[in-house]
Amino acid sequence: MNFAAPLNDNAVAVQQQQQQQQQQQQRDQQLQRHQPPPPPPPPPPQQHQLQQQAARQYPLQQFHQQFHQQSALSHPQQQQLNQLQQQQQHHTQLQQLQQHQFAAMNGINGANLAAMPAPAPAPAPAPAPTPAGHQAELNYIYGMVEELSRQLADNRRVTEDIVSGLGRVRNRARSQGLANDDLIASASDDISADRQNLDALVSILSEALEKANHSRDANANLLTQYANAFALMLKQFHEYKAKHVADVAAWHGSYRAQLDEARQENSRLREQIWAMQTHAGRANDSLRGFRRRYDDDAARWARRVDDTAARQEVRFWKRMAMPELDDDDPYWSADDDVMDAAEKDRQRELEQRAAKEQLLDSQAELEHDGRPPQPPQLVMLGGIAMQRDEPVGRAMPIPPPRPLSAASSTGSTGQ
């Protein structure tokens, strides 16, 4: 098996890593020459909390400690010692990172890669993919480095604040020519002023806290009332819904019962109508048969024809006997083939009513005058046709034309 290509790639990668480490060390040395020494590493969380608690309890002692520390840091030898310590710490951190990366690369490309001699420089190949576990470790290390840088920036900011405060105190001491006791007294005055300011701030914050608590209690009470009202509303809504569902169910049941009853009644009425139609059809058939037999009777038809002919003949002779009467004279209304029975009954009622009115008028005149009324004169209409009071020399009249009633009649056919 040939492992030459992987070993060459690994050797090239190790050489590149070493070159990068050397360049990084050179850049760090240049930065350390031009930049001030970094502040000391932050204390552990518990130690930091203890220091804050002690600072709250003994602010004056903390101020003296910070002053002595700053005076010690201002000494040139101490600064050089701190710089050397920071360089050593930084160098050890870089070595640890290099060892971790080298071990990761050995884990990828082989465990005996460190014992091999460094080959000649070759062109840089494409970077190999990093496994997921190693990438997670690198991400964790990168996160730790970011966290350390953030803590260093915070410590630098705090140190700058302390240095600026000490510088102000030193400038005040130089400008005013104060001794240590006077400086401590002025610092205590400043601290007491700050304390008064803190007391005012505490009172303001306490008042704001009370208002916030009052608002919180009021909001809690309002929320409780809202929850109770909403629960009551939901309860009423559920009750209304249950009642509505029950009412709708009852209404549907009643409607179905009424609809069933109406359908049954409709069925009974339809059966009755069908029975009536059956009986009516039978009766109609019977009537048609009777009418057919009645119309087919020859004797009855002959009697009808003879009766119609006799009526027409009587009407003709009446017109011949009384030519002075018009065709539309009420006298001709007595003809049976011209007027129907209903019209005859109506005219008879009119005549009876006129007679009653005349009788009432006569009784009223008798009561008014005291004389009996004259009997009504009966006018004789017609008479014997051959006995007329006419001169002898009068010519015979021309027969009148056939009356309209005769023309409109059915004649001898009777139709």
Quick one: tokens of 150? 């953030």
Q: Is the pLDDT of residue 306 over 80?
A: yes
Tell me which residue of 95, 116, 92 sits closest to 10, measured CA to CA.
116
Lowest average pLDDT, out of 122-131, 199-208, 287-296, 303-312, goes to 122-131
Tell me which residue of 102, 121, 128 sits closest to 113, measured CA to CA.
102
Entry pTM: 0.26
Quick one: tokens of 38? 């970094």
Rounded mean pLDDT of 230-239? 96
* Greater model confidence, 241 or 364: 241
Domains of the chain, residue spans: 4-35+65-123+139-196, 309-373+400-413
Instruction: Write the pLDDT tens digit of every residue in 155-201.
Output: 999 899 888 877 877 787 778 777 777 777 777 766 666 666 778 88
Contact 79, 37 (CB under 8 A): yes
Distance of CA 346 to the CA centre of its chain: 77
| Interior angle at CA 116, CA 112 and CA 121, nearest 5 | 130
Instruction: Write the pLDDT tens digit of every residue in 311-336.
Output: 888 888 888 888 887 776 767 665 55
- Which 3-state string (H, E, C) describes 126-191? CCCCCCHHHHHHHHHHHHHHHHHHHHHHHHHHHHHHHHHHHHHHHHHHHHHCCCHHHHHHHHHHHH
Residue type for position 349: E
Instruction: Write the pLDDT tens digit of every residue in 85-113.
Output: 666 666 666 666 666 555 544 444 444 44
Contact 95, 22 (CB under 8 A): no
Contact 52, 172 (CB under 8 A): no
Quick one: tokens of 365? 């005149």
